[in-house]
Amino acid sequence: MRHIIDDQSPLGRGGSAVLLDAIGRGDGVESARDDLTGALGRYRIALASAESLSQRHPHNPELQRDLAICHDNLGDTLSGLDDAQEADHHFKSFLGIAEAPENRSAFKGLRAREIAAVHMKLGRGRESEKMPRLALERYLQARTMVEKLAIDFPENQRLREDLQWLRHKISRLSERLEADDRRIARNRANIPETHDSGTPSDWQGDA
């Protein structure tokens, strides 16, 4: 069972990530969407199978991890099909399994990076919904995890890339939120507003 990583983060790229790229560029959009729709059906079948196995062996952390990965794959695919609500449901289901104490052994070492990746995906979702504070919370959670992993695995290039990406996101969001807070404070004090970095209605996220 192959885990597909978010195509918009530096966490890696899988087959569905390439399809998501095609949709984003407009290259063969209908074909790419058809492929994602087909993948969605296969992942739903895989999820049903993983759920059945995990229910029969509820104390097996590896089977619980397989179930979590099915949720993550579905979340990725649904994101590519613009179904943000159901994608969020599956990403959060992944975290509910992966962050449970009884499943901790299945997410040791570099596997913990999978958890950070899902927090990053949820952060991007909140950015697209113009909810920068919630996005920042997700990115901060991911950064804490990746920083620890980078200490444990100092030669891992992908972890360094993850940290660079997260630090950029956190810096941009923090600056934007601080500017919004200053604007709100000025308005409350009835002080004429000078040009700032924007208002919440201007929020477009960060590429």
Ranges in the chain, pLDDT < 70 = 1-33, 191-207
Measured distance CA(180)–CA(200) in Å, rounded: 7
- Kindly state the tokens that stand for 146: 């990746």
For position 51, what pLDDT does the model report?
96
Residue 25: the pLDDT is: 35
Q: Which of these, 90, 89, 124, 104, lies nearest to 10 by C-alpha position?
A: 124
What pLDDT, on the 0 to 100 scale, is given for residue 37? 87
Q: What is the pLDDT of residues 106-141, one digit of tens each?
A: 999 999 999 999 999 999 999 999 999 999 999 999
pLDDT of amino acid 23: 34
Provide φ and ψ at 153, rounded to 5°: -130, 70
Q: What pLDDT is stored for residue 190 in this prediction?
A: 75
pTM above threshold 0.85: no
3-state secondary structure of 202: helix
The pLDDT of residue 203:
55
Cα atoms in the Cβ-side hemisphere of radius 13 Å centred on 148? 13
> By the 8 A CB rule, do 164 and 139 touch?
no
Contact 205, 168 (CB under 8 A): no
Rounded distance, CA 196 to CA 13, Å? 37
Contact status, residue 44 vs residue 150, Cβ threshold 8 Å: no
